């Protein structure tokens, strides 16, 4: 999996985490237990879902699951601390409870998404460094977006999926140029994948658990009727996306079989695409429509765009993250702009102010302003992700 060089970084990292937990970590006051079953669903998505989904890379098969366990275990500790620094209590302590751990898992999703872009073309220590940096930026950007700008993004399509995808793509761009300059050539994403019957079935464990528990991912921050709506919307969007992805896969491939990459990935684009609007009044129709759109875009991306992006822009994307998290994340963000623009108290009742807290009397935003903030939040997230991703890739320590 990697050379002995990794021992020292791991030891240092875990000792630093220990010290930080000693200085800053305290238990949160009781509460949040009702979120625990949904947290467990998300936990399965992170460690089983992402872990097994990436076994499609046969020669990294085992490592993808073991590696997800290792990287995830580091990221969740680090994310508890980073996210906690933005919400220190009066004694300058981080209060750790159920909310901290499910938010740490969500942060881990963002890193695992970025990892999917460069997987197989870099080493474990480099991925740890990338994750270390990414979580800092992720936490700051999420805080800025959700707390300062008050952008509504229940399922994290903007701050988790789009962020993770574009951060990873930016890192991949720089790494690929470094490699070309050094070796004169670079390994293509396609050359890494050597799926077979067995590895495809293992990957389907990941796909199906992600499909099953995605409604929990999109609903975990919500309560009451918004929670039920997010569950129903995600359920419908994924179902519609799956049918569409299978059909599009057939249309866009020359063979007479479904392309396994589409089956394993594009079927899930509906979960991303409905995310930022999962708790909005999109109605079952809206959920199904966005699922269909996501399925088409994602399969099109895998079969047409990704090869172009690799060839023309020099950005290899091992797992096709751009097609599962990138474009569907932007789609979701744009949809959330539209929905914010037409949100009225008539449509939402009193829920309007829990969906869009900035629209209450104190801040007094109107629908158009909220739509503007949604768009601004999306744009700044992509800008931050690309900018910090490029810088991360340029770090001397990441000389591959």
Is residue 303 within 8 A of residue 320, CB to CB? The reply is no
The yes or no reply on residue 1 touching its own copies (CB under 8 A) is yes
The yes or no reply on residue 229 touching its own copies (CB under 8 A) is yes
The yes or no reply on residue 208 touching its own copies (CB under 8 A) is yes
**Shortest Å, Cβ 105 to its own copies:** 9
The yes or no reply on residue 348 touching its own copies (CB under 8 A) is no
The yes or no reply on residue 244 touching its own copies (CB under 8 A) is yes
Both tokens of residue 177?
């140029």
The yes or no reply on residue 60 touching its own copies (CB under 8 A) is no
Among 110, 207, 323, 374, binds its own copies (CB under 8 A): 207
| Cα dihedral 95, 135, 297, 371 sign | positive
What is d(CA 160, CA 392) in angstroms, rounded to the nearest whole number?
18
Write the DSSP symbol of residue 314.
Answer: -
Q: Which is nearer to its own copies, 267 or 392 (CB)?
A: 267
Binding mask 93-132 for its own copies (x = CB under 8 A): ---xxx-xx-------------------------------
Q: How many residues bind its own copies (CB under 8 A)?
A: 94
Is residue 234 within 8 A of residue 212, CB to CB? The reply is no
Is residue 282 within 8 A of residue 338, CB to CB? The reply is no
Q: Which is nearer to its own copies, 107 or 169 (CB)?
A: 107
Both tokens of residue 371?
């739509």
The yes or no reply on residue 10 touching its own copies (CB under 8 A) is yes
The yes or no reply on residue 155 touching its own copies (CB under 8 A) is no
Q: Which is nearer to its own copies, 98 or 136 (CB)?
A: 98
Among 110, 142, 242, 323, binds its own copies (CB under 8 A): 242
The yes or no reply on residue 339 touching its own copies (CB under 8 A) is no
**Shortest Å, Cβ 104 to its own copies:** 8
**Shortest Å, Cβ 16 to its own copies:** 11
Among 152, 231, 382, 398, binds its own copies (CB under 8 A): 231
- Contact positions with its own copies (CB under 8 A) in 256-295: 256-258, 260, 263, 267, 283-285, 288-289, 292
The yes or no reply on residue 85 touching its own copies (CB under 8 A) is no
Is residue 45 within 8 A of residue 35, CB to CB? The reply is no
The yes or no reply on residue 18 touching its own copies (CB under 8 A) is yes
Is residue 307 within 8 A of residue 323, CB to CB? The reply is no
Among 74, 163, 173, 302, binds its own copies (CB under 8 A): 74
Which of these ranges, 114-122, 182-190, 212-220, 368-376, lies near its own copies under the rule CB under 8 A? 212-220
Is residue 193 within 8 A of residue 316, CB to CB? The reply is no
Maximum CA extent, the chain = 64
Among 132, 228, 387, 391, binds its own copies (CB under 8 A): 228
Q: Which is nearer to its own copies, 173 or 235 (CB)?
A: 235
Phi and psi at residue 315, to the nearest 5°: -120, 95
How crowded is residue 68: how many other Cβ atoms within 10 Å of its Cβ? 25
The yes or no reply on residue 43 touching its own copies (CB under 8 A) is yes
- Indicate the SS3 state at residue 334: helix
Given its phi and psi angles, is residue 3 left (phi above 0), alpha (psi -120 to 50 degrees) or beta? beta
The yes or no reply on residue 209 touching its own copies (CB under 8 A) is yes
223-227 CB contacts, 8 Å cutoff, 24+ apart: 223/354, 225/351, 226/154, 226/279, 226/351, 226/354, 226/355, 227/279
**Which of 160, 251, 177, 192 is closest to 54 using CA atoms?**
192
The yes or no reply on residue 53 touching its own copies (CB under 8 A) is no
- Contact positions with its own copies (CB under 8 A) in 165-204: 197-198, 200-202, 204
The yes or no reply on residue 354 touching its own copies (CB under 8 A) is no
What is d(CA 273, CA 259) in angstroms, rounded to the nearest whole number?
21
Phi and psi at residue 94, to the nearest 5°: -95, 125
């Amino acid at each position: 999996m990697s050379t002995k060089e990794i021992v020292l970084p791991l030891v240092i990292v875990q000792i630093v985490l220990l010290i930080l937990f000693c200085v800053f970590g305290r238990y949160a006051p009781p509460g949040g237990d009702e979120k625990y079953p949904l947290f467990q669903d998300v936990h399965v998505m992170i460690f089983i879902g992402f872990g097994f989904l990436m076994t499609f890379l046969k020669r990294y098969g085992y490592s993808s699951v073991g590696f997800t366990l290792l990287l995830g275990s580091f990221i969740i500790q680090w994310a508890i601390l980073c996210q906690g620094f933005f919400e220190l209590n009066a004694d300058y302590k981080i209060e750790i409870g159920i909310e901290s751990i499910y938010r740490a898992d969500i942060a881990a999703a963002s890193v695992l998404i970025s990892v999917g872009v460069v997987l197989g073309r870099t080493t474990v220590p480099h991925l740890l460094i990338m994750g270390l940096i990414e979580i800092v930026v992720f936490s700051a950007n999420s805080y800025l977006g959700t707390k300062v700008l008050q952008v509504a993004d229940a399922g994290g399509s903007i701050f988790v999926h789009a962020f993770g995808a574009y951060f990873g793509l930016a890192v991949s761009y720089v790494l690929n140029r470094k490699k070309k300059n050094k070796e004169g050539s670079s390994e293509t994403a396609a050359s890494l994948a050597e799926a077979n019957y067995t590895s495809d079935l293992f990957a389907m464990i990941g796909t199906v658990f992600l499909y099953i528990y995605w409604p929990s991912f999109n609903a975990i921050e919500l309560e009451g009727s918004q929670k039920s709506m997010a569950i129903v919307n995600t359920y419908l969007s994924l179902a519609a996306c799956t049918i569409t992805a299978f059909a599009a896969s057939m249309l866009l491939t020359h063979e007479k079989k479904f392309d396994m990459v589409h089956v394993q990935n594009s079927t899930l684009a509906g979960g991303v695409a409905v995310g930022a609007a999962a708790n909005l009044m999109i109605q079952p129709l809206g959920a199904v429509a966005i699922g269909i759109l996501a399925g088409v875009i994602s399969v099109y991306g895998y079969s047409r765009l990704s090869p172009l992006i690799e060839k023309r822009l020099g950005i290899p994307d091992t797992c096709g993250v751009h097609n599962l998290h990138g474009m569907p994340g932007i789609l979701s963000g744009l949809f959330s702009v539209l929905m914010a623009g037409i949100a009225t108290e008539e449509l939402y009742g009193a829920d309007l102010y829990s969906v869009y807290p900035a629209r209450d009397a104190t801040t007094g935003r109107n629908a158009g302003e909220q739509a503007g903030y949604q768009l601004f939040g999306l744009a700044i997230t992509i800008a931050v992700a690309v900018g910090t991703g490029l810088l991360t890739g340029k770090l001397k320590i990441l000389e591959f």
